[in-house]
Amino acid sequence: MGTTDRDGALRVWVTRPQETEELGFFLGEILPPGAFLFLSGELGTGKTLFIRGLSRGLDCDELATSPSFALLHKYEGRLPLYHLDLYRLSGPKETAVLGLEELLDEEAVVAVEWGEVARHLFPADYLEIRFNYGENEDEREIVFFPYGEPYRYLLKELVKKCGF
């Protein structure tokens, strides 16, 4: 079930990991070229699972996996998907090697996990997706925060698609 706050944030509660992946799939189906997603939350809350669903929704030739030892993975699909995991970066100086500015110029989707160290490189408009543990083991609260009008509109489309 999902609800929209006054500030445009969308809160969705899922009770199974499959629902997290499915939510990513639905978003992937409607993402436009140039979309920028920032995923935040503790380890194990479902960020990579969500991105796997996103890769399915973008018709990528392979499913996204945890980038563990690489900062960046590219998946080819309806739109290219760049999946960045910046967990091991310790500060803004290390983000210079990412080439994030070049990725933003492409007709692609960029999804960043653990991107707090690179916030200074984010575009003005983006979608933040926060993952929180729920009360039960598999329960999660996933909150979408739209920054910019295009992402407020995108969330309205997601609500329609999911039937919330």
Q: Bigger pLDDT: 128 or 104?
A: 128
Q: Is residue 1 part of a domain?
A: no
Q: Is residue 4 part of a domain?
A: no
Dist CA 146 CA 142 (whole Å): 13
For residue 150, the domain's CATH number is: 3.40.50.300
pLDDT tens digits, 19-39:
999 999 999 999 999 999 999
Q: Is residue 2 part of a domain?
A: no
Dist CA 18 CA 25 (whole Å): 10
Report the pLDDT value the prediction gives residue 132, as an integer from 0 to 100.
96
Q: Is residue 46 part of a domain?
A: yes
Q: In this prediction, what percent of the chain has a pLDDT beyond 70?
A: 87
Is pLDDT above 60 for 94? no
Show the domain range for 68.
9-162
Q: What is the pTM of this model?
A: 0.90
Query: How many domains is the chain partitioned into structurally?
Result: 1
pLDDT tens digits, 49-87:
999 999 999 999 998 887 666 778 899 999 999 998 876
Query: 155-163 long-range contacts, Cβ below 8 Å, gap at least 24?
Result: 155/4, 155/8, 155/10, 155/127, 157/30, 158/10, 158/26, 158/27, 158/30, 159/2, 159/4, 159/10, 161/26, 161/29, 161/30, 162/2, 162/12, 162/23, 162/26
Helices (H) and strands (E) in the chain, counts: 4, 8
